[in-house]
């Protein structure tokens, strides 16, 4: 006969977090949230002052996306960049390449906006680095210092500047071809007008 002994006890697990560690983690989380709230408030105040300097509605700093639109206006940046940046995360469905493209777009727009805003207030590109990396602090500095808005001084836009040049070249070529052929086009709808016609057959506008 063999006697089998059984031991009863409680199973302990290493996944349990001690109360002291949990408290420390909660404190750290609370500090991070507090820092985030303070940073958000500082950036809103700074952008409010910056927009007011450029004769734009300061309250626009409170509204997401609209505040960026106003900054694009005073910096001379094409506001279509906002839509491009907002939609860029959807490129994530393309493995690796989509994520890299979205990240590159966001970084480029941040640089374009920061440099353009800094130059529009007479600041150096070094100051623009602060606007890009520490926007709450440097927008506060820009909003509260004695700098003045000098008008839009945008950084060279690799996308829209080249598109504008291409469009301008195409329009110039079309105008030259029109003049050489003697044809006329309606200034209202662009419809081709035969010589001697006084009104556009498409929209009815009087031809001068």
Residue 195: inside a domain: no
The string of pLDDT tens digits covering residues 43-69 is: 999 999 999 999 999 999 999 999 999
- Go through the chain and tell me how many residues it has: 208
Contact of 205 with 187, CB cutoff 8 Å: yes
Sign of CA dihedral 108, 84, 154, 121: negative
Rounded to the nearest integer, the mean pLDDT of the chain is 81
Report how far Cα 67 is from the mean position of its chain's Cα atoms: 10
Looking at per-residue confidence, does 126 or 174 come out higher? Answer: 126
Q: What is the pLDDT of residues 158-200, one digit of tens each?
A: 888 777 766 655 555 555 555 544 556 666 666 666 666 666 6
Total count of domains within the chain: 1
Measured distance CA(106)–CA(99) in Å, rounded: 11
Q: Is residue 167 part of a domain?
A: no
204 domain residue, yes or no: no
pTM as predicted: 0.68
Is residue 2 predicted with pLDDT exceeding 60?
A: no
Q: Is residue 166 part of a domain?
A: no
Does residue 57 lie within any of the structural domains?
Answer: yes
């Amino acid at each position: 006969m063999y006697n089998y002994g059984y031991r009863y006890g409680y199973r302990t697990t290493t996944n349990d977090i001690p109360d002291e560690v949990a408290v420390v983690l909660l404190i750290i989380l609370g500090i991070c949230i507090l820092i985030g709230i303070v940073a958000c408030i500082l950036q809103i105040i700074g952008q409010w002052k910056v927009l007011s300097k450029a004769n734009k509605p300061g309250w626009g700093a409170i509204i997401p996306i609209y505040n960026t639109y106003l900054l694009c206006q005073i910096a001379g940046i094409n506001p279509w960049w906002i839509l491009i940046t907002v939609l860029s995360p959807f490129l994530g469905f393309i493995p690796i390449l989509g994520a890299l493209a979205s990240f590159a777009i966001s970084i480029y727009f941040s640089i374009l906006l920061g440099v353009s805003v800094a130059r529009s207030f007479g600041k150096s590109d070094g100051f623009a680095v602060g606007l890009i990396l520490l926007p709450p602090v440097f927008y506060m500095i820009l909003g509260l210092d004695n700098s003045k808005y000098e008008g839009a001084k945008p950084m060279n836009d690799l996308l829209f500047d080249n598109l504008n040049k291409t469009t301008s070249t195409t329009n110039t070529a079309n105008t030259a071809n029109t003049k050489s052929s003697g044809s006329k086009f309606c200034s209202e709808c662009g419809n081709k007008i035969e010589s001697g016609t006084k009104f556009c057959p498409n929209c009815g506008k009087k031809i001068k």
